[in-house]
Amino acid sequence: MALQIEKSGFTLWFTGMRGAGKTTLASYIGQRLRNVGRQIEVMDGEDLEKAHLSSGLDATKDARNSEARRLGYTAKLLTRNGVVAISASLSPYREPRESLRREIGRFVEVFVDCPVEQLIARDTKGLYKKALAGELPNFTGITEPYEPPNNPEVIVKTHEESVEQSAQKIFQTLLDLGYLKPVEVSAIIGAKARRRPLPPKRPSRPARAARRSAPKAKRTVTRKAVRSVKSAAHRRARR
């Protein structure tokens, strides 16, 4: 049942590595916001391809950034016209995400976090293993970096939380920020929702320090994964 209340648009931007659960969460959130009368557009990489917004782009850093900016421009237009624009985008680099935050204003970044080992385990297409074996160049998180947000509004851990648990964290944050009303969130979660005081935002780390610290964890994980794949390949070759 649609709720008759004043509604303003905002952008909900999901970022995370391939297979982390961005599209699943975006679809879940979008449907529940529609149920309370919000105008919603859920967009991901496939939508860009269908609309020819990603035509001419490859998997390089510049192309990834161009894709994020194109998607972000669409989200900006939707937001200023009262629509909730939900983007489920790899968008692996911080600079375009931060640029979109400044341009859009009503921008909520959700970091969909999941360890690489878990992503490899749940990858039914075997893309991560192919990338580790050198068969897929420009693969984010393996041969190309993924830069996690320094200070996102929400962090969800899909290897530890259910879709419902992650979604509830997002709805509560949208309520705390004033982008959703208590009556909307109450209707969505089936319980009384209250707005909480916003915690002080952590200062962002300097970009150079972030670049120095973030990739280290990825490289450590990737080395382990590479050794595992190479060992398996060596055993197969000896048979």
Active-site residues, by number, are: 91
Q: Tell which residue, 225, 214, 75, has the closest CA to residue 142.
A: 225
- H/E segment holding residue 229: helix 207-238
Distance between start and end Cα atoms, the chain: 63
Residue 39 in tokens: 């105008």
Quote the DSSP letter at residue 205: P
CB contact at 8 A, 128 and 107: no
Q: Is the dihedral of CA 15, 16, 17, 23 positive or negative?
A: negative
